Amino acid sequence: MARTRTPVVSGWFTEDTAGPEPAPGAAPPGPFRLLGTRCSACTAVFFPREDAFCRNPRCPGDGVLAEVPLSPRGRVWSYTDGRYRPPAPYVSDPGVPWEPYTLIAVELEAEGMVVLGQAAPGVGVGDLSVGMEVEVVGGVLGEDADTTWLTWQFKPVGGAA
Ligand SMILES: [Zn+2]
């Protein structure tokens, strides 16, 4: 029985990858993008998405928050071996024992923010350096009997991994 591919949190990234599991070795479908929201009054961008009200204290107000895809690439701001369960907005299943992963904090220059994410499989701290360009890709957080949970990951641009 095929597992359903389900975003670990709805609305935080493009869900082009949702649907039947691709055949082993098949190219992943669609460009993968993180989704945030942008305030129409002050242009501040929020990730995780903020749909209720603009959190910019200097916002003139009366803005509308609209969904925007975030930059597909950013630069490594910091990274670490994830030997502990990271805080929100990093998403993980508290019911599953924490497995160490490489975590990367990526600076998105256009949005003026740093986004935390797991490195793609095979990318370790030895493959990374501060300032290195990385891109966001879809990845698998975990699987259970009937669901493949999808998340976002970062990997160096140029295919070091
Ligand atoms: Zn605003």
- 6: CA distance to ligand 1 center in Å? 31
Q: Tell me the pLDDT band of 43, cut-offs 50, 70 and 90.
A: very high
Domain coordinates of the chain in residue numbers?
1-10+71-161, 35-69
- 67: CA distance to ligand 1 center in Å? 13
Share of the chain above pLDDT 70, in %: 82
Q: What is the pTM of this model?
A: 0.78
Looking at residue 55, the DSSP 8-state letter turns out to be -
If we measure between CA atoms, which residue out of 100, 106, 98, 146 comes closest to residue 128? 106
Distance CA(78)–CA(96), nearest Å, equals 26
Q: How far is CA 96 from CA 5, 76, 158, in A?
A: 18, 28, 33
Q: Per-residue pLDDT averaged across 92-114, rounded? A: 85
- 45: CA distance to ligand 1 center in Å? 8
Distance CA(99)–CA(141), nearest Å, equals 11
